C-alpha cells in the first residue's frame, strides 16, 4: 500500500510539470540546443497558472542578431537596449516581449559557454567583418558602403581598412549617440518647464567627459537653427538628458516638484509598534486587576501570562499582574531610550555628511530647524491670490521736489557705450559659475554650459539680440518659489514664508559682500591675524594693489565704499524683481 501511494504521488508530480517545460525562466534556451523549431510564439503553463513564453531557435537567434546589431559588435557600447528591442520587434513582429525580459534573455545566452560557436556565427552575421578570407569577400562592398554612410553622417574623415573592425564599431556607437541626442531634443522641445525631469549630478570621470565631448560637434546643427534663447535652452537640456541616458545615470521622471518625505525609518516604526502593543497590553492588565472580567480582557491576560506557569486561579495573581505591568513599563522605557539613542546617532551621521558636502546648509539647519508641514497644504489659488495682492498691485509713491533735482543732475551724464557680448564673455562668466548649484526654472546646471562649449557663440548672439531689443523671455526673469511653513499644520497662505531661487542668490551675494566688508574694516582697524590678511589679499587679487603700499588705507576705504554701493544695488533688485 505504501509503494502504491509513493508511485501515485510521483506520477502526480510528473503530471503537474510537463517534461518539456523549463524548470526556471532563465533555463538554457531550447532554440540553441535543438534545431527545426517553429518561430511562432509558444507558451507553457507555469506553476501559478500564468502562461509562460517558450523561446524557439529562431527567436533566440533573432534576439542575438538584434543585440549584436544594436551594440555594433562591441561590448562597451552605451544605450543599446532600446535599439535592440526595436530591432527584435522588426525581426519578430508576432512576439510580445518587454525590453527588460529581452535583455535578461540575451544576458543568459551570453553567459552560457555552451553556445560559444553559435554566438560567434550570429555575431559575424550581424556585424560583418572584412578580415575574413575568400568566403567573406562578397561582404566587403557592403562594409565599405556602410562605412561611407557613417562617414557622411559624422562628417569626419574615415579610412576604410579591411582589418579594422574597431572603426565600424566606433562609428555605429556615434550613430547611436546621435539618435539618442535627437530623441531627447525632440522630446524636450514641446515639454513645459515644470514637467522637465530632474537632471542628476554626474561624476566628473573621463568616460563621462568623453561622452560630453562627443556630443559637442553634433549640437552645432541644432544650435545654428535655434531662433531664440528658449529654444537654445531646450536644446541644451535635451543634450544633457541624452548624456545622462547614454552613461546610464538615473533620471527622475516625476518632474522637479520636490517635498521632504516625512516617512519614518523602518527601525523606528518597528520599535514604536512594540511600544504601542505593550501599552495596549498594560491597559488590559490594569483593567483586569481593577475587576473587569469581560471575556476579551480575560483572554488577553491569559495570552500575556502564557508560558510563565501563572494561572488566574492562584492566590497571588494580583502580585503577578503588578510584576508583569512593571516589566512592560521597563521595556517601554528601554525602547524609548533606544529610539533616542538611534536618533542621535543618525543625526550625528547626517550632520557630519552635510558638513563635508555643504557647510552652509548645516549651519542654516542648526540656526533655524526645518518645520515639516504634515497637515493639509494650502489651496494653490488662495496662495497665488494672496501673494499677488502683495507683489503685483500697483502702488503710487509720493514724489517730492527732490526727484526733479535728481533728474536735472542726471541729464548731463554721458550715456554708456554700447555693450558687445562675445563668446569669450560667455565662456568667462560660465567658467566662474559653480557646477552643481541649484538650477533655475529650466533645471539646467552650469556644468552643461561649461561642457557644451559650442553653445557659447549662439548664446552670445542671442543675448546681444535680447539686449538690443530690451526684452528677455520669462525663463530668465521667473524664479522657483518654495513656501516654507512657519507653524505646524498651517493652512493660511500668510503663515508660509516664500523662498525664491533668484532671491536666495541675491541674498547670498549680499551676505558674502557684508562678510568681506567686515574683514576689510577689521584690517583697517589694525587686526592683522592671518585669516584677515589672507581675505584682504584675495579681495585685492588682480588689482595690482599691495598691502605694503603707503596708500593702502585709502584703497581699503574705496573697496569698502564699492561693496556698500553693490549691496545697495542688489537690495534694490529684490523689490524690483518681486
Distance from chain centroid for Cα 132: 46
Looking at residue 329, its pLDDT comes to 93
Distance from chain centroid for Cα 529: 43
- Element containing residue 52 per DSSP (H, E): strand 51-54
Q: Where are the beta strands (DSSP E) in 345-504?
A: 481-485, 496-500
Q: Distance between CA 428 and CA 40 in Å, rounded? A: 62
Q: What is the pLDDT along the chain (578 residues), one digit of tens a residue?
A: 334 443 334 444 444 444 444 434 444 444 444 333 334 445 444 444 556 677 887 888 888 888 888 876 555 555 678 888 888 888 888 888 888 888 888 877 777 665 666 666 777 776 655 344 433 344 334 434 433 333 333 333 333 343 444 555 677 788 888 888 999 898 888 888 888 888 888 888 888 999 999 999 999 989 988 888 889 999 999 999 999 999 888 887 655 544 444 578 888 999 999 999 999 999 988 998 888 888 888 888 888 888 787 888 888 888 888 889 999 999 999 999 999 999 999 888 888 888 877 776 777 777 665 555 456 677 788 888 888 887 777 777 777 788 888 888 888 888 888 888 899 999 888 888 888 877 777 888 899 999 999 999 999 999 998 888 888 887 777 766 767 777 666 678 887 877 665 666 777 788 888 888 888 998 888 888 888 888 888 888 777 888 888 888 888 898 899 898 888 888 887 776 55
- Which residue in this structure is represented by grid cell 605694503? 548
Q: Distance between CA 198 and CA 464 in Å, rounded? A: 29
Q: Are 183 and 239 in contact (CB under 8 A)?
A: no
Q: 194: Cβ–Cβ under 8 A, 6 or more apart, which residues?
A: 255, 256, 257
Looking at residue 262, its pLDDT comes to 52
DSSP bridge pairs for 252: 198
Q: Which long-range contacts (CB under 8 A, 24 or more apart) does 482-487 make?
A: 483/378, 483/383, 484/370, 484/371, 485/371, 485/372, 485/373, 486/371, 487/371
Please provide the distance, in angstroms rounded to a whole number, between the alpha carbons at the two ends of the chain: 92
Q: Distance between CA 67 and CA 163 in Å, rounded? A: 23
Looking at residue 276, its pLDDT comes to 93
- Predicted TM-score (pTM) of this structure: 0.45
Looking at residue 104, its pLDDT comes to 83
- Other Cβ atoms less than 10 A from the Cβ of 238: the count is 24
Distances in whole angstroms, Cα of residue 336 to Cα of each of 109, 167, 264, 271, 282: 53, 66, 15, 8, 16
Which grid cell sits at 168? Answer: 565600424
Which residue from 134, 158, 138 is spatially nearest to 148, judged by alpha carbons?
158
Q: In degrees rounded to 5, what are phi and psi of residue 528?
A: -115, 35
Looking at residue 4, its pLDDT comes to 41
Distances in whole angstroms, Cα of residue 373 to Cα of each of 268, 488, 500, 501, 504: 20, 6, 18, 20, 21
Looking at residue 576, its pLDDT comes to 66
Looking at residue 243, its pLDDT comes to 92
Looking at residue 352, its pLDDT comes to 86
Which grid cell sits at 243? Answer: 548624456
Q: Are 559 and 545 in contact (CB under 8 A)?
A: no
> Would you call 496 helix, strand, or coil by DSSP?
strand
DSSP bridge pairs for 53: 43
Q: Distance between CA 153 and CA 144 in Å, rounded? A: 14
Distances in whole angstroms, Cα of residue 206 to Cα of each of 314, 366, 468: 78, 38, 40
Q: Distance between CA 127 and CA 169 in Å, rounded? A: 9
Please tell me what DSSP assigns to residue 417: P
- Look at the alpha carbons of 101, 103, 104, 110 in this order and tell me if their dihedral is positive or negative: positive
- Element containing residue 42 per DSSP (H, E): strand 42-45
DSSP bridge pairs for 496: 485
Q: 323: Cβ–Cβ under 8 A, 6 or more apart, which residues?
A: none
Looking at residue 131, its pLDDT comes to 42
> Would you call 96 helix, strand, or coil by DSSP?
coil
Amino acid at each position: 500500500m505504501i509503494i502504491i501511494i509513493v508511485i501515485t504521488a510521483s506520477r502526480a508530480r510528473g503530471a503537474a510539470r510537463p517534461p518539456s517545460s523549463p524548470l526556471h525562466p532563465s533555463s538554457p534556451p531550447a532554440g540553441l540546443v535543438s534545431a527545426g523549431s517553429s518561430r511562432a510564439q509558444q507558451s507553457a503553463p507555469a506553476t501559478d497558472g500564468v502562461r509562460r513564453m517558450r523561446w524557439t531557435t529562431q527567436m533566440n537567434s533573432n534576439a542575438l542578431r538584434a543585440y549584436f546589431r544594436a551594440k555594433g559588435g562591441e561590448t562597451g557600447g552605451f544605450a543599446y537596449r532600446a535599439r535592440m528591442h526595436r530591432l527584435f520587434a522588426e525581426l519578430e513582429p508576432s512576439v510580445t516581449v518587454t525590453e527588460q525580459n529581452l535583455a535578461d534573455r540575451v544576458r543568459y545566452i551570453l553567459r552560457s559557454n555552451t553556445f560559444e560557436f553559435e554566438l560567434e556565427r550570429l555575431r559575424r552575421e550581424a556585424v560583418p567583418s572584412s578580415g575574413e578570407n575568400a568566403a567573406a569577400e562578397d561582404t566587403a562592398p557592403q562594409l565599405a558602403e556602410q562605412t561611407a554612410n557613417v562617414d557622411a553622417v559624422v562628417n569626419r574623415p574615415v579610412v576604410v581598412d579591411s582589418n579594422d573592425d574597431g572603426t565600424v564599431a566606433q562609428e555605429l556607437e556615434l550613430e547611436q549617440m546621435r539618435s539618442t541626442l535627437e530623441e531627447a531634443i525632440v522630446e524636450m522641445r514641446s515639454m513645459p518647464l515644470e514637467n522637465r525631469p530632474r537632471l542628476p549630478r554626474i561624476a566628473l570621470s573621463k568616460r563621462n567627459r568623453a561622452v560630453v565631448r562627443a556630443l559637442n560637434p553634433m549640437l552645432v546643427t541644432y544650435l545654428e537653427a535655434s531662433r531664440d534663447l528658449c529654444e537654445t535652452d531646450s536644446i541644451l537640456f535635451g543634450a544633457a538628458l541624452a548624456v545622462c541616458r547614454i552613461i546610464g545615470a538615473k533620471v527622475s521622471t516625476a518632474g522637479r516638484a520636490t517635498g521632504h518625505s516625512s516617512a519614518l525609518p523602518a527601525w523606528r516604526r518597528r520599535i514604536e509598534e512594540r511600544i504601542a502593543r505593550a501599552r495596549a497590553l498594560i491597559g488590559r492588565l490594569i483593567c483586569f486587576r481593577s475587576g473587569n472580567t469581560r471575556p476579551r480582557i480575560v483572554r488577553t491576560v491569559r495570552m500575556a501570562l502564557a508560558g510563565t506557569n501563572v494561572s488566574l486561579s492562584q492566590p497571588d495573581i494580583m502580585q503577578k499582574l503588578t510584576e508583569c505591568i512593571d516589566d512592560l513599563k521597563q521595556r517601554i522605557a528601554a525602547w524609548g531610550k533606544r529610539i533616542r539613542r538611534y536618533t542621535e546617532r543618525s543625526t550625528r551621521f547626517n550632520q557630519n555628511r552635510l558638513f563635508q558636502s555643504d557647510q552652509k546648509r548645516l549651519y542654516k539647519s542648526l540656526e533655524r530647524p526645518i518645520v515639516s508641514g504634515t497637515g493639509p497644504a494650502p489651496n494653490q489659488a488662495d496662495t497665488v491670490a494672496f501673494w499677488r495682492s502683495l507683489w503685483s498691485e500697483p502702488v503710487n509713491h509720493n514724489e517730492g521736489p527732490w526727484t526733479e533735482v535728481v533728474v536735472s543732475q542726471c541729464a548731463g551724464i554721458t550715456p554708456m557705450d554700447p555693450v558687445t557680448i562675445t563668446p569669450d564673455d560667455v565662456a568667462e562668466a560660465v567658467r566662474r559659475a559653480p557646477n552643481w548649484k541649484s538650477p533655475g526654472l529650466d533645471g539646467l546646471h552650469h556644468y552643461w554650459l561649461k561642457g557644451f562649449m559650442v553653445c557659447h557663440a549662439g548664446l552670445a548672439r542671442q543675448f546681444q539680440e535680447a539686449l538690443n531689443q530690451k526684452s528677455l523671455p520669462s525663463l530668465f526673469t521667473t524664479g522657483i518659489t518654495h513656501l516654507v511653513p512657519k507653524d505646524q499644520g498651517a493652512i493660511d497662505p500668510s503663515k508660509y514664508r516664500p523662498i525664491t531661487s533668484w532671491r536666495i542668490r541675491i541674498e547670498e551675494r549680499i551676505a558674502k559682500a557684508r562678510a568681506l566688508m567686515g574683514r576689510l574694516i577689521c584690517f583697517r582697524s589694525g587686526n592683522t591675524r592671518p585669516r584677515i590678511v589672507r581675505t584682504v589679499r584675495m579681495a585685492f587679487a588682480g588689482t595690482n594693489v599691495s598691502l605694503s603700499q603707503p596708500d593702502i588705507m585709502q584703497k581699503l576705504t574705496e573697496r569698502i565704499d564699492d561693496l556698500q554701493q553693490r549691496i545697495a544695488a542688489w537690495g534694490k533688485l529684490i523689490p524690483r524683481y518681486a
